[in-house]
Chain A
Amino acid sequence: GAGVSQSPRYKVAKRGQDVALRCDPISGHVSLFWYQQALGQGPEFLTYFQNEAQLDKSGLPSDRFFAERPEGSVSTLKIQRTQQEDSAVYLCASSLARQFSYEQYFGPGTRLTVT
């Protein structure tokens, strides 16, 4: 299909391990967002890219979290030295244009469990 895809869908990491979560946005979408969704909560904004530029990373919880989108398409969210509080579903969304009036299309998410 032509939707947003994320991989892996499930990830179990031991505390202290590094993880990398991948997002493939819809082709041609300029904007890309990462969210963290804890159990029973709504998605919480992490970071925003416009093409390859990371314009807002104010939602990243600590310097262990790092996101990149080097060629303006695929994006990777990396978490270093994972901790139990990092356990959540990580959602990626993309949008056709820069304006926030445009619909965000969400991927299925990556469920991260840190043991």
Chain B
Amino acid sequence: AQSVTQLDSQVPVFEEAPVELRCNYSSSVSVYLFWYVQYPNQGLQLLLKYLSGSTLVESINGFEAEFNKSQTSFHLRKPSVHISDTAEYFCAVSDTGGFKTIFGAGTRLFVKA
């Protein structure tokens, strides 16, 4: 069975500081990996995804994540955060041959001025 662990439930950080949100997964088969973001009072939306190929994937608003197969990790990073990045971030994994998407418990990123 697959599982996703997000090691930090809350991450407070000052504006313009770098941030890393950690995600580890377990799976015995090939997977797709995703980060979803939920801004206050909004629905979940896809931030970025890893399907195959380059292990480093980027979003349009400056986030990036790197797939590390040996460490079964897919950590999310941003070199300089903005107040508007305050949101809850969910890491998720899908079995490439199945139907389920398994989500982590989420990490609440709080950016302070």
Contacts and interface: CB of A to CB of B under 8 A. Distances in A.
Interface of A: 3-4, 33, 35, 40-45, 48, 55-56, 58-59, 91, 93, 100-101, 103-109
Contacts of B100: 45, 48, 56, 58-59
Interface string B84-99: 0000001010111011
B96 to A, nearest CB: 7
Q: Report, nearest first, the 10 A-B pairs whose CB atoms are least far apart.
A: A42-B103, A106-B44, A56-B99, A48-B99, A100-B94, A106-B43, A103-B46, A45-B100, A108-B43, A43-B103
B45 A100 contact: no
A42 B104 contact: yes
Given A42-B104, A100-B32, A100-B96, 12 more contacts: A40-B105, A41-B106, A42-B92, A42-B106, A45-B100, A56-B98, A91-B44, A103-B46, A103-B49, A107-B43, A108-B42, A108-B43
Contacts, number: 58
Contacts of B90: 42-43
Contacts of A41: 105-106
Contacts of A40: 105-106
A63 B49 CA distance: 34
Nearest to A98: B99
Contacts of A100: 32, 94-96, 98-99, 101
A105 B32 CA distance: 16
B102 interface: yes
Contacts of B42: 108
A41 B102 CA distance: 12
A40 B9 CA distance: 9
A106 B105 contact: no
Interface in B31-67: 32, 36, 42-46, 49, 51
26 contacts: A33-B101, A35-B103, A40-B105, A40-B106, A41-B105, A42-B90, A42-B92, A42-B104, A42-B106, A43-B44, A44-B103, A45-B102, A48-B99, A48-B100, A56-B99, A100-B95, A100-B96, A100-B101, A101-B49, A101-B51, A103-B49, A104-B46, A104-B101, A106-B45, A108-B43, A109-B43
